Amino acid sequence: MTSLEDMILPLFRGLRAKADTLRQAVFNATLGASLVTKLAAAVFGVLVVAFIVLFVLQYHIDDDVAMKPSPRFVVDGGSKAVTMAATLMELETDHWAPSKPWIYPIAHSTNMVAYQKAIQYAVAQWATQMTDFLGRERGSGEADPNLVAAKGLLNYDPTAFLLPSAVSQYREGIRNLDDYNRRLARGQARYDKIASSLSDFLIKIDKDLGSQSSTIELTVLSPEHFTDSERTLMTDNQRKVLATNGGYFDGRATDVFFATKGRMFAYLVILSALGEDYHSVIVAKGAEEHWNNMLISLRSGASLYKFFVANGAGGSYVVPSDLAYQGFFLLRFDKQLQEVADILNR
């Protein structure tokens, strides 16, 4: 009877012989190459190494759930939410990737580009709500000029590189937020701290994340999970997202994971600060425990991180479904957010 050792040793000897042959072929080709070819190969090698080094140095996913406010934006008597929104956007614009041209290594980071776009989107949504509801006198009060400017600037195209660049627009938006906060501290601006205004903002977040959870669903599920008639009713964008699970080689998964993570982190920063701004309102409504539980779920989802995101099929023993795991925290937060909004409206 042939032993296991007798079967394996010849296999390893054969692999070693092939490796030696390949190494010798490469060595011979190198010796026979011209000086120009050798120089080109050396330059290419240096460029590859430089690309990798620069990529590693430029790669940042800022997701510190204990983020502290920047001292330059702290204003006694101002809004904590405005301070933290300005802090977050300033942090991101210091290494903004979505608008970088292709020659920059970090422009090719799907993770960072999707994450920062999502942060900008969430902050812009909050800025819009501040302008239209929170930062003006209830009813038909005039919108604050600094908030109107910040709203437009923070909604600017995140991929714009020049004339004007996204970074310059966002920094101008940050300046307007800071100006509003300082005027607020001096009693020269409005901040309508009533339960209905906070509830309206939570409902806006609910709609935004509901859309994002739908994208996660289409990314996690495969076409066979839907009937022909159901696929017919989908929009072009929904059909574009829907595809077979690609495991670790599913490019959709990375985009969706970091787009969701970016929104959740930005909303965590803003809602944590809003909890301080509206503390008396939340306590008066008896919603403090619900508010804290909501933030715990949001923090759990925002802190999830994987450089390589896997989109395995449901129930897979080998390849996990990172999006399904993330989606659990997203939906749990969304459910708790609806409960808080309902309490605030009572």
Pick the residue with more confidence: 69 or 215?
Answer: 69
Percentage of the chain modeled with pLDDT above 90: 48
Mean pLDDT (the chain) is 84
- Does residue 13 lie in a domain region? no
Residue 224's contacts (CB-CB under 8 Å, 6 or more residues apart) are none
Q: How confident is the model at residue 156 (pLDDT cuts 50, 70, 90)?
A: very high
pLDDT at position 279, please? 95
Do 287 and 336 contact (CB within 8 A), yes or no? no
- Does residue 23 lie in a domain region? no
pLDDT at position 164, please? 92
105 pLDDT above the threshold of 70: yes
Domain count, the chain: 1
CB atoms within 10 A of CB 288: 14
SS3 string, 45-86, reads HHHHHHHHHHHHHHCCCCCCCCCCCCHHHCCCCCCHHHHHHH
Pick the residue with more confidence: 20 or 164?
Answer: 164
The alpha carbon of 149 is separated from its chain's Cα centroid by a whole number of angstroms, namely 24
Containing structural domain, residue 227: 62-345
- Does residue 200 lie in a domain region? yes
Residues 233 and 239: their CA atoms lie apart, in Å, by: 10
What is the Cβ-side half-sphere exposure of residue 253, based on CA atoms within 13 angstroms? 27
Highest mean pLDDT among 62-66, 140-144, 290-294, 312-316: 290-294
pLDDT at position 218, please? 72
38 pLDDT above the threshold of 50: yes
Taking residues 290-310, report their average pLDDT.
92
- Does residue 341 lie in a domain region? yes
Q: How confident is the model at residue 320 (pLDDT cuts 50, 70, 90)?
A: confident
Pick the residue with more confidence: 61 or 325?
Answer: 61
Residues 188 and 85: their CA atoms lie apart, in Å, by: 20
Taking residues 301-307, report their average pLDDT.
91
pLDDT at position 19, please? 73
Which of 201, 187, 186 lies closest to 134 in space, CA to CA?
201
Encoded tokens for 169 = 């627009």
Pick the residue with more confidence: 139 or 51?
Answer: 51
For residue range 242-255, list pLDDT tens digits in order: 555 555 556 678 88
Highest mean pLDDT among 74-78, 227-231, 324-328: 74-78
Instruction: Please give the single-letter amino acid code of residue 326.
Output: Q
- Does residue 290 lie in a domain region? yes
pLDDT at position 322, please? 81
Taking residues 144-157, report their average pLDDT.
95
Q: What are phi and psi of 192, to 5 degrees?
A: -80, 90
Q: Model-level pTM?
A: 0.81
Pick the residue with more confidence: 340 or 326?
Answer: 340
- Does residue 121 lie in a domain region? yes
What is the Cβ-side half-sphere exposure of residue 284, based on CA atoms within 13 angstroms? 11
Q: How confident is the model at residue 177 (pLDDT cuts 50, 70, 90)?
A: very high
71 pLDDT above the threshold of 90: yes
pLDDT at position 57, please? 86
Residues 335 and 331: their CA atoms lie apart, in Å, by: 6
pLDDT at position 307, please? 87
Taking residues 201-218, report their average pLDDT.
84
Percentage of the chain modeled with pLDDT above 70: 80
- Does residue 6 lie in a domain region? no
- Does residue 139 lie in a domain region? yes
1 pLDDT above the threshold of 50: no
pLDDT at position 215, please? 79
Taking residues 56-77, report their average pLDDT.
92
Encoded tokens for 303 = 């802190």
49 pLDDT above the threshold of 70: yes
176 pLDDT above the threshold of 50: yes
